[in-house]
Amino acid sequence: MFAVMHKFNSNGVEIAYETAGEGPPILLIHGFASTGRVNWWDTGWVKTLTEAGRQVITIDNRGHGASQKLYESHLYPATEMAEDARRLLDHLGIVQADVMGYSMGARVAAFLTISHPERVRRAVFAGLASRMITGVGGGEAIARALEAASRDEVTDPGARSFRIFAEQTRSDLKALAACIRSSREKITLHELRGITVPILVVAGDKDDVAGDVDTLVAAIPGARGVVLPNRNHMNAVGDRGYKDAVLAFLSG
């Protein structure tokens, strides 16, 4: 599927995005060290959603993909990335949309939902569950791995996997290091209990990054949860069961 990369000014930061299809809009927010293309186009999500009659918008978060690279960590709070997403909806003239985020994108989607509930019809938080509340940890180790002269210098297995993934996505390693030092803000139970829009939480049963689904579901009034069997943080993204659950949720 072909689409043209567009850019807009989000309060002084150039943010890239793509659109496809026609119908009710859904905004997709990718995870750390990924891009809109890698997270949503390459995994078949855009095809699945456009075939279901949706207009799909994918955003490249600041510091990622074709968006502007920033090198100071204070410029990467998840709350500000949520404002980038809100400004994109403004830029496109979209009053309200469904929103789905994966991993870091789920945290961004949650802050968008909390700060601007009138802009979100339904939201899917995927690849991040209980650790949205408790924190993920390991951010500094990942930052140091990204800043290392070579991946061969990285001995921490988890941090090394992020370095390898960032190289595969041809990311700006310095920008990502700044991002990881700021973007993992915890979300309080009080904030989650104030969410009033329908929420679906999805994660693999072997996803140590996400944590457990039930804890997050219990924290959000009326939320539903789906656990993907035999899926981890990396291979859950394109899972057919994940897609089926989201399509059912969006049409509910």
Model pLDDT for residues 168-216, shown as the tens digit of each residue? 999 999 999 999 998 678 999 999 999 999 999 999 999 999 999 999 9
Work out the percent of the chain whose per-residue pLDDT is above 70: 99
| pLDDT band at residue 1 using 50, 70 and 90 as cut-offs | low
Model pLDDT for residues 61-72, shown as the tens digit of each residue? 999 999 999 999
The two tokens of residue 166 are 């960032």
What is the spatial distance between Cα 10 and Cα 139, in angstroms, rounded to a whole number?
26
Q: Which domains are present in the chain?
A: 6-134+187-250 (3.40.50.1820)
Mean pLDDT of the residues in the chain:
96
Check pLDDT > 80 for residue 41.
yes
Check pLDDT > 70 for residue 88.
yes
